[in-house]
Structure 1
Amino acid sequence: MRIAAAQTKPIPNDTQANILRHVQYIDRAAEHGVRLLTFPEMSLTGYELERAAELSFTMDDPRLHVLCERAAQHDMIIIAGAPVRLESALHISSFIFLPDKQIALYTKQFLHSGEEVFFSANHNHNPHIILENERIACAICADITNPLHPANACSSGATLYVPSIFYTPGGIAEAYEQLGEYSQRHAMNILMANFTGESYRYPAAGRSAFWDASGRLVGQLGVGTEGLLLAEKVGDNWKSSVIIWV
């Protein structure tokens, strides 16, 4: 089984261009037999606060159709992020596109300071997705700063924890320390996707990574690399490889 994190450089103020970029990454991942592909936090729009409502999606948004089609075409689970409007509230979310063309939704549970002005936290959308023998739990950025979040994922049976984040260089070392500790403490594999380049006028730290359930850092991307980090399970062990975007 192969899974992958896409380390993308968001295009500001151009959601359609970001969607097209997602399709290109999805097709490239499919060429390498990837069954699960995850993108960074708010990957479809880039990280946004003030413009989040304007750029937000709905669950039946026609802009999502192309990603539904790709999930079915490639028999792939695709996790991509955006602001989502549910009833009267705005949330930071991950859309989970399934091979049967269904869309599941994960909503961020623990907000970063300042996000509460624009978004509402939401604990009501937390699906677990099955892929072969892995039970997948999602996380978004500041979720990983609360140890209760991965602990809850573990207690609900998750074996693969998938954080989609936007971390700057000043915070990525701490994220690595936390995720490595969580993987070992909870015996969960962890696949993390971060941006490269810049979003919301801040530099992104890149370094998307995969840890196995023993806490071993199996592979990572560089700070400025656009590309895919692949993790492949061979028997009981994981190995990684990198596909640089050209």
Structure 2
Amino acid sequence: MKIALAQLQSESGNIKANMAKHLDFITKAAKDKADFIVFPELSLTNYEPNLAKDLAFDENDGRLEIFKDYSAKYKIAIGLGLPLKMGNQIHIAMVIFKPKSNIQYYFKQYLHEDEVPFFSA
């Protein structure tokens, strides 16, 4: 298995621009025959705890569909970092897309002390 680790500079709160950067990295990783590409924590919003509540994605957020499409198109698994709202809680999450599979979610289990006011484990 070939794994690509993406290191990119996300723009603070600019989800549209960050999504475009992610799609570019996914395309490049697929061309290099990667099987899985993993992005940093909160990469779709940048690491902005103070803004996380306003920037949080829903579990069924339509903006994530493009990543499902890219996963299928390029036959690559994708792990994206974002704040995810579940019920009344915001989590530091990784959303995992795999070709021909349902979307999976992983939540950060151990929060740093300065993350506790903004996120749930």
TM-score range for the pair, normalised by the shorter chain length: over 0.9
The answer on whether the counterparts of 2:13 and 2:48 sit within 8 Å (CA) in structure 1 is: no
Counterpart in the other structure of 2:55: 55
Counterpart in the other structure of 1:35: 35
The alpha carbon displacement at 1:13 in A equals: 2.2
Counterpart in the other structure of 2:14: 14
Counterpart in the other structure of 1:94: 94
CA distance in 1 between counterparts of 2:114 and 2:85 reads 18
Counterpart in the other structure of 1:68: 68
Write the deviation string for residues 140-173 of structure 1: whole angstroms up to 9, x where unpaired. xxxxxxxxxxxxxxxxxxxxxxxxxxxxxxxxxx
Counterpart in the other structure of 2:79: 79
Write the deviation string for residues 182-237 of structure 1: whole angstroms up to 9, x where unpaired. xxxxxxxxxxxxxxxxxxxxxxxxxxxxxxxxxxxxxxxxxxxxxxxxxxxxxxxx
CA distance in 2 between counterparts of 1:95 and 1:12 reads 19
Write the deviation string for residues 52-88 of structure 1: whole angstroms up to 9, x where unpaired. 0100001110110111100011111100010000011
Match of 1:29, SS state, is helix
Q: Which amino acid aligns with 1:112?
A: H
Q: Which amino acid aligns with 2:75?
A: D
The structure that has the greater radius of gyration is: 1
The alpha carbon displacement at 1:43 in A equals: 0.6
Higher strand share: 1
Q: Which runs of 4+ in 1 moved over 2 A?
A: none
Match of 1:4, SS state, is strand
CA distance in 1 between counterparts of 2:108 and 2:114 reads 14
Counterpart in the other structure of 1:149: none
Q: Which amino acid aligns with 1:26?
A: I
CA distance in 2 between counterparts of 1:32 and 1:50 reads 36
**Percent of matched pairs sharing the same residue:** 37
Counterpart in the other structure of 1:165: none
CA distance in 2 between counterparts of 1:63 and 1:105 reads 15
The alpha carbon displacement at 1:100 in A equals: 1.1
CA distance in 2 between counterparts of 1:39 and 1:15 reads 14
TM (normalized to structure 1)? 0.48
Name the structure, 1 or 2, with higher relative contact order (CA <8 Å, separation 6+). 2
Structure 2: runs of 5+ lacking an equivalent: none
